[in-house]
Structure 1
Amino acid sequence: MTTRPPLTTTAGSAVPDNQNSLTAGPRGGIMLQDYQLLEKLAHQNRERIPERVVHAKGWGAHGTLTITGDISRYTKASCLQPGAVTPMLARFSTVAGEQGAADHERDVRGFALKFYTKEGNWDLVGNNTPVFFIRDPYKFPDFIHTQKRHPKTNMRSATAMWDYWSLSPEALHQVTILMSDRGLPVTPMNMNGYGSHTYSFWNDAGERHWVKFHFKTQQGHKHYTNEEGEAVIGRTREGYQEALYGAIEDKAFPRWTVQVQIMPELDAEKTGYNPFDLTKVWPHGDYPPIEIGVMELNRNPDNYFAEIESAAFSPSNIVPGIGFSPDKVLQARIFSYADAHRYRLGTHYEQLPVNQPKCPVHHYNRDGNMNHFGLRSGNPDAYYEPNTVLGSPAEVPSAKEPPLRIDGAMARFNHRDGNDDYGQVTALFNLFDADQKARLFSNIAAAMNGVPSDIIERQMVHFVRVHADYEAGVRTALKAAHGYEANTISEGEAAE
């Protein structure tokens, strides 16, 4: 057996654990001293120029968020109070494809929203799926490498993709959704959107509740098969752009029903799953979705580059009444998204018109490229803080988020220990009817074309742990599509 060289940092130091972030207890939060996590995320943001590292191909429009429900007892956020109407921008995208990729490819779709509230910009940067492939941000650069081009062949690698997934059982929930009908929506209007992460609400009394955001399409779910998607690509590579732009020009404004799931703060200590785990959903029977309003897109951009390509969304943009959670991936995105924008667009990217808040802005940031506005402190003598200069910006104690409960020793906890990565996937699989399952099996078989048998067999172990029919169905589809044959997995092997 060939000896593998030691994994090191870019400075040559040995990396003892490349699977788990350094956190306070198994549920987080993440420690700023985890320099290798910051190095991996910061390096990934600088791997490609000038397009986005992920979500490079996108389509967007302007609209409004209108609140019709009442959740004022949970949050003080002004944009979520009954009757509030907030201007906004939406950008949909594929995750893996480059700017020139075709729209109708099987992929997760980004669902990024910027709300221009009177208290500052609130960004909700999610996907059209309620979960994702990872639960620890340490693995995000590695996962995205499997979705991009092979450094030698310059082609997408199904082997890399399935090799990674077969070694990462936490990805199975998202893989199953991606390979199901919902992995290829007909248009951006025919898919749901999700905040995906767990966020928090807090009210004037300082009470915290955990929250998940859902945007349910009012246009209905419509999906293409792989063959139908390929036929569309044969006619146009811009099908999503054409559909979204054309609908708004025809005044057939797309709409989504906005819902939230709300969990009392202390319930997080009682659930049988980690509610901050990005690979898990909250059962609707336990935390029923609450309808709070409508999102409508009703204005196309006048200049795509200035208003959509230059749009910069970051989960770090929140407003009083909305907060974060110990979700490890969310905490990493709070850093990495803003850092990506500073690199891609410039130090003062939030001064581009599409990113500018609609409320007054006062801060002490100075100089740097793109600083065409000078100091924002309101007084040329107030270029530092604290100060005694009259008219200079001061802290706003009422905007302080309530303390976030954390506990535990600081260590690299194995995020796969004690996690059930199959139960929720089984529940999802059992929701599919026979035809939906058949398409799921066929889509997986198509995506496994050319993948070595040892990787396929390793992935089969995960399928059979979900349901024996899952493994059997994929095997049948693989044989039909590629003539693949191998021994089925015994119950003993599946249990190992």
Structure 2
Amino acid sequence: MSNKKVFSTSEGCPVSEPFATQRIGQDGPLLLQDFSLIDSLAHFDRERIPERVVHAKGSGAYGYFEVTDDISDMCSAAFLNQVGKKTKTFVRFSTVGGEKGSADTARDPRGFAVKFYTEEGNYDLVMNNTPVFFIRDPSKFPHFIHTQKRNPETNLKDPDMFWDYLTSNQEAIHQVCILFSDRGTPYGYRFMHGYSGHTYKWTNAKGEWRYVQIHFKCDQGIKTFNNEQAGDLAGSDPDFAQHDLFNAIKKGDNPSWTVYVQSMTQEEAAKLPFSVFDLTKVWPQSQFPLRRFGKFVLNENPQNYFAEVEQAAFSPSHTVPGIEASADPVLQSRLFSYPDTHRHRLGVNYNQIPVNCPFAARSAYAPHIRDGAMQVNGNLGSAPNYLATNVPVEVRSDVKLQAHQEVWTGPAFAKHWKVVGPIDFQQATDLYAKVMSKQPGQQKALAHNVAVHASGAKRDIQDRVIDMFTKVHPNLGADIKKEIYQLDPRDSDKNVQLFNKNGKVSACPFHSKL
């Protein structure tokens, strides 16, 4: 028998002429009975799924995580319980604000989501390449993301929206300084760090727990583009990061990261000058040093982008015993929001898609998770659809609840985590004055990158931008002001022009690359 594939319909019926259509006579109308044609067109009409509302543009790869140092005194998760133990992983890197067809070199944070296929179920670590974020109040997230996307009237990127939001919510300043440094335009995905950003909780086998943050330090070293290089590549090679990652792995140049943890006790957290749950702050490494515990390597490309990268679904709520969420309010919101968007985008049974399947948890049994669209794994056959008394099921008594840990009391009230003063600018000031001063050209690059982008905003918003960065450092504010006023984009024919929401022509040379 021949090993050749037989061209067929989706139901397996052989088709004699792939491009023929049934019709009346030589040139008459088509027939509805032509299943081969209807099958093809109907599927074509439905082959796109909803685009991710954030992190739409991305790349993925498989690899493994290896435990390099004993961490059992801090965490009881099974995949961390032995030095040398390896766990299969899948990673999806991404930009944040752009659409699926946007440029890889956009000035934007980068998503760094890792799925660990552990024997206790899938564990997702949903990170970014920056250690902080723009918000600490989750209610602001939809507002913030909308300002990074398109003006509802013009359908264009709008620097007025962008800077109006940021200058009105200045707790974002630390992240903005990182974003507008050259770290905001990394050289692909292989040359950037990954940070949990959020505070999590690790518990050891004794029930002792600590707050933690995770760091993936790039073994290839940090490599970035400057503003103009990133802009040029956005036009000439918009998929740069995709082919850079794919080709490197294909030729065996496998990227890797060394994995560290920072930790603190609840008592230490109480003494911080800021909340341990504040996503806009970093933990000083001088006070809370990094502790190495693992190695992360990427060594296998996906075989099919749609099946394995586009359908990959990550959530910080996908966790394992020994690792828990903290009371970080943005993290708490993501625990709901991520699975909610997966059920919308991929369907209620998204965890049955092979890339999302907890295949390593072979003894897992959830009899109540049944039915729903695209139920394809047998639906547990004839087993009861509830936890029946006549089915032998093990309940692990070593998986502890949090009742013995944090205790929360008090009335319910609405809290807005407002900017409280200099503490919200201190880390941005340290970044500019103590870190960037040791990196030749980076202080000037920050001022230049902000000025180029903000030059497209209205003058009153530009003045608010200058004022905000002056609070970081007077020199930074002065450099930004000087360059903004020199650019005077309203009179420049070198910039890409667009209409702002007042109908007046403004400009932003990189408005399409953010």
Task: Give TM class, smaller chain.
Answer: 0.7 to 0.9
Name the structure 2 match of 1:454: 460
CA distance in structure 2 between the aligned counterparts of 1:288 and 1:261, rounded to whole angstroms: 6
Moved more, 78-87 or 66-75: 78-87
Name the structure 1 match of 2:481: 475
CA distance in structure 1 between the aligned counterparts of 2:80 and 2:460, rounded to whole angstroms: 51
CA distance in structure 2 between the aligned counterparts of 1:129 and 1:229, rounded to whole angstroms: 18
Aligned CA RMSD, in angstroms, stands at 1.8
Give the partner amino acid of 1:70.
Answer: D
Aligned residue-pair number? 434
CA distance in structure 1 between the aligned counterparts of 2:247 and 2:369, rounded to whole angstroms: 41
Q: Give the structure-1-normalised TM-score.
A: 0.84
> Retained in 1: the 8 A contact 2:104–2:188?
no
**Deviation at residue 384 of structure 1 after TM alignment:** 2.1
Name the structure 2 match of 1:442: 448
**Deviation at residue 233 of structure 1 after TM alignment:** 2.7
Q: Give the structure-2-normalised TM-score.
A: 0.82
Give the partner amino acid of 1:416.
Answer: K
Give the partner amino acid of 2:178.
Answer: I
Give the partner amino acid of 2:446.
Answer: L
Give the partner amino acid of 1:73.
Answer: D
Name the structure 1 match of 2:399: 399
Give the partner amino acid of 2:326.
Answer: S
Q: Any residues of structure 2 matched to 1:169-248 within 5 Å, and which?
A: 169-248=170-249
Give the partner amino acid of 1:423.
Answer: Q
Q: List per-residue Cα deviations over 1:27-55 (Å, max 9, x = no partner).
A: xxxxxxxxxxxxxxxxxxxxx96110000
**Deviation at residue 70 of structure 1 after TM alignment:** 1.4
> Retained in 2: the 8 A contact 1:134–1:170?
yes
**Deviation at residue 196 of structure 1 after TM alignment:** 1.0
Give the partner amino acid of 1:410.
Answer: A
Moved more, 464-473 or 93-102: 464-473
Name the structure 1 match of 2:374: 370
Name the structure 2 match of 1:12: none
> Does residue 61 of the first structure (1) align with residue 65 of the second (2)?
no
Give the partner amino acid of 1:372.
Answer: V
CA distance in structure 1 between the aligned counterparts of 2:261 and 2:448, rounded to whole angstroms: 34
Give the partner amino acid of 2:463.
Answer: E
Q: Secondary structure at the match of 1:294?
A: strand
Give the partner amino acid of 1:313.
Answer: F
**Deviation at residue 102 of structure 1 after TM alignment:** 1.2
> Retained in 2: the 8 A contact 1:122–1:318?
yes
Name the structure 1 match of 2:288: 287
Q: Any residues of structure 2 matched to 1:85-100 within 5 Å, and which?
A: 85-100=86-101
> Retained in 1: the 8 A contact 2:456–2:489?
no
Moved more, 472-481 or 132-141: 472-481
Name the structure 2 match of 1:120: 121
Gaps of 5+ in 2: 1-47, 491-514
CA distance in structure 1 between the aligned counterparts of 2:122 and 2:311, rounded to whole angstroms: 16
| Structure with larger Rg | 2
**Deviation at residue 417 of structure 1 after TM alignment:** 5.4
Q: List per-residue Cα deviations over 1:148-207 (Å, max 9, x = no partner).
A: 111111111111010000100111111110000100011101100111100110011111
Name the structure 2 match of 1:147: 148
**Deviation at residue 379 of structure 1 after TM alignment:** 5.4
Name the structure 1 match of 2:385: 383
> Retained in 1: the 8 A contact 2:454–2:465?
no
Name the structure 2 match of 1:32: none
Give the partner amino acid of 1:168.
Answer: N
**Deviation at residue 335 of structure 1 after TM alignment:** 0.3
**Deviation at residue 324 of structure 1 after TM alignment:** 1.0
**Higher RCO structure (Cα 8 Å, ≥6 apart):** 1
Q: Any residues of structure 2 matched to 1:290-439 within 5 Å, and which?
A: 290-357=291-358, 358-360=360-362, 361-363=364-366, 364-376=368-380, 380=383, 382-385=384-387, 387-391=388-392, 393=393, 395-403=395-403, 404-416=406-418, 418=420, 420-430=423-433, 431-433=435-437, 435-439=441-445
Name the structure 2 match of 1:76: 76
Gaps of 5+ in 1: 1-47, 485-496
Instruction: List structure 1 segments (4+ residues) > 6 angstroms apart after TM superposition.
Output: none
Q: Secondary structure at the match of 1:354?
A: helix
CA distance in structure 2 between the aligned counterparts of 1:141 and 1:479, rounded to whole angstroms: 32
**Deviation at residue 287 of structure 1 after TM alignment:** 0.2
Q: List per-residue Cα deviations over 1:353-375 (Å, max 9, x = no partner).
A: 00001212311112211112344
Give the partner amino acid of 2:455.
Answer: N
> Retained in 2: the 8 A contact 1:208–1:402?
no
